[in-house]
Amino acid sequence: MDNEILKSLRERRSVRSFKPDQITDEELKAVLEAGTYAPTGKNLQDPWIVAVQNRDIVNQLVKMNSMFTDQEGNPYYDSPTIILVFCSKPEVWPNGFADGTLVLGNMMNAAHAIGLGSCWINRERQMFDTDEGRELMARLGLPEGLMGVGALVLGYPAKPLPAARPRKQNYYRVVK
C-alpha cells in the first residue's frame, strides 16, 4: 500500500544544515497550522506554539539551550526559524507533554511535505524551567503554568536529504 502521505513519512529526515534565507510567511503558516491539527487529549488543544524569527530572541534561545548540552556549536543548527512548543504542567493536564510531541511531529511532517527542512530539538523543558526561561515565556505572551516540550528548527535544507537508514529488525510486531 502506498500514497503521497506514506511516501512523505518515509522520506522525511532531520535536517541539521540550513541555508540562511528566511522561510516565507506562507510556508510558516502552513507548518504552524499543521501543528494545530495534531490530535490532543479530549481535544483540549492544550499546547502553545510560538514561532521565533527575531534574531535577538533566537540568539537568546541558542545561549539558553547551549547551557544544557555539551555539544559544540549552535544547538539550533543556525536555522532561521525556531518553533517552540509548550504545554500545561502535568498537575494541570497530565497529557500535555504527549499532546505537544504530536504537535511537533505534525509540524515536522508538514515542513517536509512543502520542501522545508526541520529537526526536533530537546532541552526546552530544562530551559524554560529557569528564571530566564520563565521571564522569556512572559515576554512571549504565554500564561504562567506552562512548561517547554521541545522545539523545531525550520528552514531550507543546505544539502540534499540522506537516504533512510535501514529499520531495525523486529521494530514492530503483529499479534492476532
Q: Is the pLDDT of residue 156 over 90?
A: yes
pLDDT of 48 = 98
Grid coordinates of 118: 526541520
pLDDT in tens, 98-117: 999 999 999 999 999 999 99
Say whether pTM exceeds 0.85.
yes
Structural domains counted in the chain? 1
Domain assignment present for residue 89? The answer is yes
CATH number at residue 101: 3.40.109.10
CA end-to-end span of the chain? 20
Domain assignment present for residue 94? The answer is yes
Average of per-residue pLDDT across 120-136 = 97
Domain assignment present for residue 161? The answer is no
Domain assignment present for residue 10? The answer is no
- Nearest 5°: CA angle at 71, between 136 and 9? 80
Domain assignment present for residue 163? The answer is no
- Nearest 5°: CA angle at 127, between 84 and 32? 0
Measured distance CA(55)–CA(63) in Å, rounded: 12
- Nearest 5°: CA angle at 60, between 96 and 128? 25
pLDDT in tens, 6-36: 999 999 999 999 999 999 999 999 999 999 9
Domain assignment present for residue 22? The answer is yes
The answer to whether the CB of 113 falls within 8 A of the CB of 83 is no
- Nearest 5°: CA angle at 78, between 51 and 151? 40
Average of per-residue pLDDT across 54-73 = 95
Q: Is the pLDDT of residue 1 over 90?
A: no
Q: Which domain holds residue 54?
A: 16-155
Domain assignment present for residue 6? The answer is no
Domain assignment present for residue 168? The answer is no
